[in-house]
Structure 1
Amino acid sequence: MLYKDHKNIKVDVNDNEITFKDIYNKDYFPIEYESQIKRANVLLIPIEKFKDYNSPVFPEGTQEFFEYIKEKSVGTKLVPDICISDNNYKELELHSSVINLCEIIVKQAVLSIITSMIGSYFYEKLKQTKDTIRGTVKITVECDGESKKIQFEGNIEDFERTVDSISNKFFDK
């Protein structure tokens, strides 16, 4: 289901086949960190292939974003992790004015927390510039073994409000 509004925000919500169990079976899944990663309810996952690059890669700024949510998750229900070994971690630098967050898979119970943290992260970015910043975010939400993917593309100051509205419609039971 595709949503657009007058602020040039594009949000797409679709059923998705990917679950946490599927991620655990990916070739890039670091077996050496298996017990730690399986405790996570928020996983940052790489792009498996990008153009001619055939290894897992993360968008520019992923490490900074990961450190931010780890720090902010202390004292919350959020248990974030990144699904790659330290030796295999690579960032793709596109030098774009768009903030492209890595794909995230979350348990439905912590969707509002991670949405708020992403909104705060974006707010910190906005404070550093006078310009409008656009962003792209892909969040797969798993609930009871099924999942939906939310894809947001738009001005980052609209992210939290937009995704909260969508999540209330699709995920609150």
Structure 2
Amino acid sequence: MELIITDTSETMASWLAKPYLNEETRKLLTGVDAMIVPQENFRDYEIPLFPSNLMVFYDILKAHLKVEAAINEEDYREVSLNSRMHRYGKTIVHAIAIPIFVGVVSNLISELLKQDLDDEVEIEVIIQHNPGKSTSVKYQGPIIGFNQVATKIKEIAYNGNSREHRTDTTKSTNESSSK
């Protein structure tokens, strides 16, 4: 349904500075290609949370990239929301690793397409171009719309510029298919 692209100050360095991370976790996170970050301040929860089943996503990514979750092992918690939405949370990815990351996520989502076309996906990818510049790409919508998002993520990683915008991808998909 919706694709939102914005410049952001969120970087791997800003997450390494989180007060709830211990020194061991910070060392583990240093030098990763991708960092899966928790959602802070979710509803009434004071602790950082990850979407349910995130470890499956983590294991798939881990087979292809150096990836870690930005949380102390003993503090890892998931929140389960019942819906037909596949939630992958937020991942900060170095621009150089975007082609591999997008390929892995696209394959995972293609498998979901085989199961049910009516399901939706929610994901945020923060492309870290350099230590001080990042671009956030948030998508929430039909699984089938993710191909457009994957193309946009790669384009931003290659070009290094976001041109902030918001798109109703459902409308865009319907308009382009009727032409």
SS of alignment partner, residue 101 of structure 2: helix
1:114-153: CA deviations, max 9, x gaps? 11111111122333x2342111111111112201100111
Name 2:90's counterpart in structure 1.
103
Number of equivalenced pairs: 158
Q: CA RMSD in A?
A: 1.6
* Cα distance, 1:56 vs structure 2: 0.4
Contact 1:112 1:164 in 2 (8 A): no
Q: Which position in structure 1 is the counterpart of 2:111?
A: 124
What residue is the counterpart of 2:17 in the other structure? 25
Q: 1:44-67, CA deviations, whole angstroms, 9 ceiling, x for partnerless residues?
A: 000011111110000111111111
Cα distance, 1:24 vs structure 2: 0.3
Percent identity (aligned): 21
The reply to whether residue 37 of structure 1 matches residue 29 of structure 2 is: yes
Per the alignment, residue 164 of structure 2 pairs with none
> Is 2:147 aligned against 1:160?
yes
Give TM-score, length-normalised by structure 2: 0.81
- Residue 56 (str. 1) matches residue 48 (str. 2): yes
Q: What is the DSSP-based 3-state SS (H/G/I as helix, E as strand, rest coil) of the residue aligned with 1:171?
A: helix
Structure with the greater relative contact order (CA < 8 A, sep ≥ 6): 1 or 2? 2
One-letter identity of the residue aligned with 1:161? Q
Structure 1: which 4+ aligned runs deviate by more than 6 Å? none
User: Structure 1: which 5+ runs fail to align?
Assistant: 1-8
Partner Cα separation in structure 2 for residue 160 and residue 44 of structure 1: 21
How far apart, CA to CA, are the structure 2 residues paired with 1:17 and 1:130? 36
Q: Which amino acid aligns with 1:114?
A: F
User: Which runs of 5 or more structure 2 residues have no equivalent in the other structure?
Assistant: 160-179
Query: Does the 8 Å contact 1:45/1:103 carry over to 2?
Result: yes
Q: Distance in 1 between matches of 2:134 and 2:11?
A: 7
Matching of residue 141 in structure 1 with residue 133 in structure 2? no
- Using the size of structure 1 for normalisation, the TM-score is 0.84
- Cα distance, 1:88 vs structure 2: 0.4
Among 38, 41, 44, the alignment partner of 1:46 is: 38
